[in-house]
Amino acid sequence: MSELRELYQELILDHSKKPRNFRVLEKATHKSEGYNPLCGDRITVYLQIEGDTIRDVGFQGSGCAISKASTSMMTECVKGKTLAEVQDVLRQFKVMMLEGADPTPALGDLEALQGVRKFPVRVKCATLAWNVLEDILESNSRGVR
Ligand code: ZN
């Protein structure tokens, strides 16, 4: 169990030190910002949505290791997925983080973030990127209608 915890910590550390997709997305079709006043995390998420697929994703911002790692993992997770698939992962991630449910296979590496639940104040750091993603998906679906 402690080995597993170490592996999780390494994964989070790796993503926070070398965030994936950390760039402004020139071809972005959607962009939204999020701010977590409890910790000072501030991020901007860029998505390139084509039809019902997320073609590309990027983010910028500054914040703690948890928020950076969670955002980095989120971008890796959603790239290439359909909007329906992303909605699904988003829901499962929130249920894991906010309701304490066991991680599902669809969450993959995101499972590593479940340890954050032990620190309620940091849960907002871990869910920030996902709330921004949710904003974008909602505005996108409103636009389509
Ligand atoms: Zn934070």
* Band of pLDDT at residue 8, cut at 50, 70 and 90: confident
pLDDT at 68 over 60: yes
Distance 144 CA to ligand 1 centre (A): 33
Output 145 or 104, whichever has higher pLDDT: 104
DSSP letter at 50 equals E
pLDDT band at 6, cuts 50/70/90? confident
Neighbours of 15 (CB within 10 A): 24
**Dihedral angle over CA of 5, 120, 60, 23, nearest 10:** 20
Whole-number Å distance, alpha carbon 52 to ligand 1 midpoint, is 31
141 pLDDT tier (thresholds 50, 70, 90)? confident
63 Cβ contact list (under 8 Å, min separation 6): 36, 39, 40, 41, 42, 43, 125, 128
CATH of 2-140, one of 3.90.1280.10, 3.90.1010.10, 3.90.45.10, 3.20.20.220: 3.90.1010.10
Q: Global pTM?
A: 0.94
